[in-house]
Amino acid sequence: MEKRYLTDDEFFKKYIESYALRQAIANMQLENKDVEMITTFDGNLEMENNIDAFKWIIENHPDRLSPYDLNEISYRVNGEKFNKGFRTTQVAVAKSKNIEPVSPRRIPEAMYSLFNAYRNIWSALPTYEREAKLHIEIVRTQPYEDGNKRSARILTSYNLYSQQKAPVIIPGKDTDEYFSYIDDYDVEGMTKYLEKRSKLELEYIKEYYRKLCGAEFGQKREGPEKCVKVYTFTKPENGDSSE
């Protein structure tokens, strides 16, 4: 996806604003935070941090994704509460039965190995399977003191978006299902789940497009080109079962 595609099209600017807010709310719900918490100063600040992190990765659009990009996402998700970079203390994952986070001294090696696998070893995998593997590995590694799942969800959505797939919103009601795929290292289950959520988001995009642009998804409006290139979300990749 071209950088211009991410920044110049009016429809996608509006969609990204909508998506970033909806994702931030969903992330709060996944953390078991109720509506009252969301409306407090701390809750609102956490939502703003989530929005800032997602917009940062969209606007910077790295050509070659690296752990440095995830470090920046995590730094912004946590509101600059921790030093930028990997954690230096051991952590535990609440409610987990099977996750043993990597020791701090092994995190850099583990993360660089993971991103190398993502770029090179897994490059031929179907999109959703590739993203499922990366997502599960990041959360199980727990590279940061806090915000690991939030950072992983932002990165997954960005990766899908940059590959012409609709990003995902994981609602609070799916907390147990979503976490079970990570805790059980269920790549197949996570793959199917991400694809399902991406297709649901695609339907949202189509409806948003109709209401905003006054045309069916994939059609140009007459007059100023306010809604173009939307069709790329519907182009299947080789080996993908989606669309």
How many domains are contained in the chain? 1
The residue segments making up the domain with residue 73 are 3-234
239 lies in some domain:
no
Residue 8's pLDDT is 42
- pLDDT tens digit sequence for 184-219: 999 999 999 999 999 999 999 888 888 877 767 665
Confidence check: pLDDT of 25 > 80 = yes
Q: Is residue 216 part of a domain?
A: yes
Cα gap 21→19, rounded to integer Å: 5
| 212 assigned to some structural domain | yes
The angle subtended at Cα 15 by Cα 22 and Cα 11, nearest 5°, is 170
Mean pLDDT, residues 113-130 taken together: 97
Q: What secondary structure does DSSP assign to 208-242, as a single string?
A: HHHHHHSS-TTPPPSSS--S-SGGGGGPPPTT---
Asked if the structure places residue 241 within a domain, the reply is no
Assigned domain for 27 exists: yes
pTM of this structure: 0.86
Task: Assess whether pLDDT exceeds 60 at residue 7.
Answer: no
Report pLDDT digits (tens) over 225-240: 555 544 445 445 555 5
The pLDDT value recorded for residue 64 is 87
Could you tell me if residue 10 is inside a domain? yes
The band of 159, judged by pLDDT with boundaries at 50, 70 and 90, is: very high
3-state DSSP assignment of residue 133: helix
Classify residue 243: in a domain, yes or no.
Answer: no
Which CATH number do you get for residue 21? 1.10.3290.10
In percent, the amount of the chain with pLDDT more than 90 equals 65
